[in-house]
């Protein structure tokens, strides 16, 4: 199992790494209860300053597709293409994400879990990672 010392988030404003997994960083309005991803300074509805939160690590797949071109930049994703989709989290947030797993498992309504995937290797050997969602096992 990889630890937080083995990897670095591509965007530390959106992703935090823990030894037991990762979490997306969002915001929640203390007045109306709405949540957001990515983080905001104030609520889009009532302009109240928001609180930073870690969003749920599980959600439900809303929609998915397969992009049949290599992803941009230097990374270790399959050069043939990759899956992308939208995952609804319990906080009411819809997250756009790269998808892990087999394309046949990307069925709307499928329970999903947050994981990370490497996009580059740093000079010190650590992996630069970003978020992805994959079908939840068991």
Token pair listed for 17: 């790494």
Q: What is the pTM of this model?
A: 0.85
pLDDT of residue 137: 82
Q: What is the pLDDT along the chain (138 residues), one digit of tens a residue?
A: 455 578 999 999 999 999 999 999 999 999 999 999 999 999 999 999 999 999 999 999 999 999 876 555 545 554 577 899 999 999 999 999 999 999 999 999 999 999 998 989 999 999 999 999 999 986
pLDDT of residue 116: 94
Interatomic CA distance for residues 124 and 120, integer angstroms: 12
Interatomic CA distance for residues 119 and 9, integer angstroms: 10
Residues in the chain: 138
pLDDT of residue 107: 95
| Residues 8/128, Cβ–Cβ less than 8 Å | yes
pLDDT of residue 68: 77
- How far the first Cα of the chain sits from its last, in Å, is 19
pLDDT of residue 81: 78
């Amino acid at each position: 199992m990889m630890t937080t010392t083995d990897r670095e988030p591509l965007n530390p404003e959106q992703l935090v790494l823990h030894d037991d997994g990762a979490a997306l960083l969002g915001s929640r309005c203390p007045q109306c209860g709405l949540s957001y991803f990515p983080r905001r300074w104030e609520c889009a509805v009532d302009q109240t300053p928001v609180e930073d939160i870690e969003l749920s690590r599980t959600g439900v797949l809303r929609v998915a597709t397969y992009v049949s071109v290599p992803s941009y930049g230097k990374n270790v994703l399959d050069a043939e293409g990759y899956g992308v989709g939208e995952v609804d989290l319990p906080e009411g947030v819809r997250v756009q994400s790269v998808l892990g797993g087999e394309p046949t498992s990307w069925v709307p309504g499928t329970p999903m879990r947050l994981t990370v995937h490497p996009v580059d290797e740093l000079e010190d050997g650590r992996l630069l990672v970003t978020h992805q969602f994959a079908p939840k096992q068991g």
